[in-house]
């Protein structure tokens, strides 16, 4: 289960954290984690409200043309 410290200011322009450990993932595991987190966030936003993190969505990558 992932948790977020509730004391963080949601609208702060910068959040500083002290790194005490790191996780090294293969590209496959990193993509699986990204998909899992995306799913968890979508469920949260469906239940509560959309979280505005101040980042504009980007267009999907287009295949290169020759």
Task: List, for residues 6-59, the tens digit of each pLDDT value.
Answer: 555 666 677 777 888 888 999 999 999 999 999 999 999 999 998 887 777 677
Sequence spans of domains, the chain: 22-48
Q: What is the rounded CA–CA span in Å between residue 43 and residue 45? A: 6
Q: What is the rounded CA–CA span in Å between residue 31 and residue 21? A: 20
Query: pTM of the predicted model, to two decimals?
Result: 0.51
pLDDT reported for residue 14: 76
pLDDT reported for residue 52: 83
Whether residue 8 contacts residue 15, with contact meaning beta carbons closer than 8 Å, is answered with yes
pLDDT-based confidence at residue 1 (cuts at 50, 70, 90) = very low
Q: What is the rounded CA–CA span in Å between residue 37 and residue 1? A: 11
The better pLDDT of the pair 48, 62 is held by 48
Phi-psi region of 31 (alpha: psi -120 to 50; beta: other; left: phi over 0): alpha
């Amino acid at each position: 289960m992932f948790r977020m410290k509730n004391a963080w200011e949601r609208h702060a322009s910068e959040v500083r954290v002290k790194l005490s450990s790191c996780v090294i993932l293969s590209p496959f595991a990193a993509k699986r984690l990204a998909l899992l987190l995306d799913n968890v966030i979508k469920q949260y936003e469906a239940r509560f409200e959309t979280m505005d993190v101040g980042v504009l969505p980007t267009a999907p990558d287009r295949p290169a043309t020759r």
